[in-house]
Amino acid sequence: MKAVVDKDLCTGCGLCADSCPDVFEMQDAIAVVKATPVPANAEECTKQAVVDCPVEAIKVE
């Protein structure tokens, strides 16, 4: 699984980095993906981050 953050949509709320810190981190107030591919043990929180992101900026493929 790969996760992608759309930098144009991300508002920098920090939710994904808080809930799934093995995959997302904040850089200059924008979330970036630091683990590609997503580690198996972090797939669930990655999927949850997709659902929880208030602006639907996270996609998985």
The binding track of 18-57 with respect to ligand SF4, each residue x by CB under 6 A or -, is: -------------x---------------------xxx-x
CB 61 within 8 A of CB 1: yes
Q: Please count the other Cβ atoms lying within 10 Å of the Cβ belonging to residue 16.
A: 27
Query: Of these, 13, 32, 35, 50, which contacts ligand SF4 (CB under 6 A)?
Result: 13
Q: How much of the chain is helix, strand and coil, in % rounded to 5? A: 30, 25, 50
CB nearer to ligand SF4: pick between 37 and 54: 54
- Give me the residues that bind ligand SF4 (CB under 6 A), please: 5, 10-16, 31, 53-55, 57-58
